[in-house]
Structure 1
Amino acid sequence: MSTERRIVLFDLFGVIACHQRPGALERMATLCGAPADAFADAYWVSRPPYDAAQQTAAAYWTTVLRQLSRPVDTETIEELRRADIDSWSRVDDSVVAYVQSLQDRAEVALLSNIPSDHADAFLAAQPWLRHLDHVAFSGKIEAAKPDPGAFYHCVAALRAAPADFLFIDDREENVHAAQAIGMNAHVFIELRQLTAAIDTWLPARAA
């Protein structure tokens, strides 16, 4: 299906932002006195409801601590929450610059799986995000990829059709979910490959 609109919809972590800091989970495990492997398991298995705003930060960390049979107290929860936010705070400056440069050629939006409190901190640290055409954080829209609802939120918010989008994500399951609703999509590996894919998808520059 042809379309006159061009909306490049970016994932955040693994594309624009870096993955979690190396050693972060081990440091959080030490904060609550839990074995590192058991902590990592509890951290990830409990994450989806937190990402999708079905749990508050306090409820998420209470669940993690109880799974580890560790004491639950507000001080520990806050230490873990802050350490967790910091662990996801890095960006790839070269990709940030590229995303910003695209706004001269296309509409640019963001769809990220990120808890609400993380989203607030990330947006405060990266105010350039406010200049994108739309920013959708799972913890704010109450839907997380690969749930089709997350993609349909962006379609509705931008008053567009799925075929208007090129979705960029480093996870194949999310790319396949976007394609399933009719979006164009690309698995991110590295910036040079991405720029070639976007150049192919966007209309040629005027001479």
Structure 2
Amino acid sequence: MSTHRRIVLFDLFGVIARHQRPGALAQMAARCNTPADAFAEAYWACRPPYDAGQWSAPEYWTAVLRWLSRSADADSIEELRLADIRSWSRVDKRMVAYVRSLREVTEVALLSNIPADHADAFLATQPWLGKLDHAAFSGKIHAAKPDPAAFHHCIVAMQAAPADFLFIDDREENVRAAQATGMNGHIFTRPDELTPVIDTWLPTRRLTPPR
């Protein structure tokens, strides 16, 4: 059932923000004096509970360093934590402008898989996030996509029906999970192909596409 609202729910990384800076993991691996492939394995294998708010940043980095048989001292943890945040800090300015313009004509929300401390850094440096109708960060809501709980959080928080949402994400498994909850979904590939999708979703007004 729909309440006839129109809520565009965006993913962050790979849609509005850039994916991790190339070479960042190799630089962090060098800091740990460990091979890049071994570091990447530990980094990603330990990531889910950090993204979902089950681990703090020190708990996550302690797990990574122990996986690599490296000392988990406080200085190393903090250096890696800050380097990690910097590596995920880039946004696509075209998409930021588009999202801001979209906010003028409809409800716009965000659902991102991001640790709580990373979310705090984004909120501090990207003030437009605070002007969205809702921003849900996995590390703060304790649920990460494609867990249905992440989508249900947005439905409840916005007091909406699932069919009121158009979810935009660059990962097919996340879009399928959103659709399984009753949301509409679209797999993002590039900014110019998104415009007609949004125009169809908002038939009463067309927006200038991101350039």
Partner Cα distance (2:71, 2:156) in 1: 43
Name 1:22's counterpart in structure 2.
22
Aligned ranges 1:78-93 → 2 under 5 Å: 78-93=78-93
Offset, 1:204: 2.2
Mapped to 2, the partners of 1:27 and 1:205 lie a distance apart of 46
Compute the TM-score of the two structures, normalised by the length of structure 1.
0.97
CA distance in 2, matches of 1:160, 1:2: 8
Equivalent residue of 2:185, what SS? strand
**Corresponding residue SS for 2:167:** strand
1:103-161 deviation per Cα after TM superposition (whole angstroms, max 9, x unaligned): 12210000000000000001101011000000000010000000000000000000000
Distance in 1, Cα, partners of 2:16 & 2:72: 34
Query: Does residue 104 of structure 1 match 2:104?
Result: yes
Q: Mind listing any 5+ residue stretches in structure 2 that lack a counterpart?
A: 207-211
Amino acid at match of 2:112: S
Q: Is the 8 A contact 2:95 2:191 kept in 1?
A: yes
What is the Cα deviation at residue 42 of structure 1? 0.4
| Partner SS for 1:129 | helix
Aligned partners of 1:115, 1:2: CA distance in 2, in Å? 31
1:31-81 CA-to-partner distances (Å, cap 9, x unmatched) read 111110000010001100000010010010010001111111010000000
Q: In the TM superposition, what whole-angstrom CA distance separates every residue of 1:140-196 from its partner, at most 9, and x where no partner exists?
A: 000000000000000000000000000000000000000000000100000111111
Q: Please, what is the CA RMSD of the aligned residues?
A: 1.1
Partner of 2:200: helix, strand, or coil? Answer: helix
Q: Which residue of 1 aligns with 2:209?
A: none
Aligned residue pairs total 206
Q: Distance in 2 between matches of 1:94 and 1:77?
A: 34
For residues 6-17 of structure 1, the aligned pairs below 5 Å read 6-17=6-17
Q: Whole-Å Cα distance in 1 between the matches of residues 75 and 50 of structure 2?
A: 19
* Kept in 1: contact 2:2–2:161 (CA 8 A): no
2:40 aligned counterpart, secondary structure:
helix
Partner of 1:190: 190
Letter of the 1:13 partner, please give it: F
> Gaps (5+ residues) in structure 1?
none
Question: In the TM superposition, what is the alpha-carbon distance from 1:3 to its structure 2 partner?
Answer: 4.3
* Cα pair 2:7 2:165 within 8 Å, conserved: yes
Matched residue SS, 2:168:
strand
Shift of 1:2: 5.2
Matches within 5 A, 1:167-182: 167-182=167-182
| Alpha-carbon distance in 1 for matches of 2:45, 2:187 | 24
Q: TM-score, normalised by structure 2?
A: 0.96
Q: What is the distance in 2 between the residues matched to 1:161 and 1:4?
A: 9
Aligned partners of 1:157 and 1:45: how far apart in 2?
Answer: 30
SS at match of 1:135: strand
